[in-house]
Structure 1
């Protein structure tokens, strides 16, 4: 935690308020443009992920928003995978002003607790190798790198990565 973290109000809640899903798309589009110069193909991907979640509303999927002092500052989703007993962790984001407060860990922890409570046995995620802070969070929870290959997308040459976690072989952290 950073020095001022104990004076800030940090909450993680379900993404069930008007504007939450739109904020997820907007925040990803703006932040990834600012930090990585990713083009709008990335924002379109996030918009599709969020739209799929919104239209499929299922008890097997959930999304969360993290707030700092009442302002949205992070998000994550957990949705069903095509394989039985498997879920996908999606759209993890923490805004620069909220980094260092443990918010990414709290968000992933909420998603994995939900996955366990829902009966999922396995969680996967796809990311790119340049997202080092997110990778540290995934490793903290026991995710392991299961696939890595070059990926041309979002206006750049990237390395796409798939990370996996067997929920009952890992600590709840």
Structure 2
């Protein structure tokens, strides 16, 4: 299918996740530095409080270069949160997203979570299709997306 390799985080990867989210979402959707600051804060919280027994982070590589990321973070004892999902444009359609989401779901199931949720917004068609392919459904739409007034904040979830 593809030559995607997944690995855990190494020094520099937390910053790469923040940087690529900021640059990519600006390039594709026009989101500003406030979105990048949100990602930086959330990545920092995960890194500082990281529990390898209940949480995991993967970097996807093609040809030894990072092209994607995802994290399984603890929301509560029963619920994991899929976070920081990203696939570089040149890597899309090559199995990167599938490999990352599957790794996240498998890990969450193995460590005993019963449910997984994720936070996204309307209009992200490709990622939404991947989420739905893996059993996620829309649980709620709390309101306008804080980083793009043309979109609606969405919570998707699925049982594990």
Normalized against structure 1, the TM-score is what?
Answer: 0.88
Query: CA separation of 1:133/1:55 partners in 2, compared to 1, >3 Å: closer, same or farther?
Result: same
2:25 to 10, 23, 32: 32
Note the 1:14-163 alignment, pairs <5 A.
Answer: 14-15=8-9, 17-58=10-51, 59-82=53-76, 84-163=77-156
Larger radius of gyration: 1
Task: Figure out how many residues of one structure are paired with residues of the other and give that number.
Answer: 159
Task: Structure 2 unaligned segments of length 5 or more: list them.
Answer: none
Structure 1 outlier segments of 4+, above 3 Å:
none
Inter-partner Cα distance in structure 2 for 1:55 and 1:97:
31
Inter-partner Cα distance in structure 1 for 2:136 and 2:75:
16
Report the alpha carbon displacement of residue 48 of structure 1 after superposing the two structures with TM. Answer: 1.3
> Helix, strand or coil: the match of 1:120?
coil
**RMSD (CA atoms):** 1.3
Normalized against structure 2, the TM-score is what?
Answer: 0.94
Does the CA-based 8 Å contact 1:150-1:157 persist in structure 2?
A: no
> In the TM superposition, what whole-angstrom CA distance separates every residue of 1:37-71 from its partner, at most 9, and x where no partner exists?
00111111111111111100202111100001111
Inter-partner Cα distance in structure 1 for 2:126 and 2:142:
20
Task: Structure 1 unaligned segments of length 5 or more: list them.
Answer: 168-173
1:13 to 7, 10, 14: 7
Moved more, 40-49 or 26-35: 40-49
> In the TM superposition, what whole-angstrom CA distance separates every residue of 1:99-141 from its partner, at most 9, and x where no partner exists?
0101111101000000011100000001011111111111111
Does the CA-based 8 Å contact 1:60-1:80 persist in structure 2?
A: yes
Inter-partner Cα distance in structure 2 for 1:152 and 1:140:
23
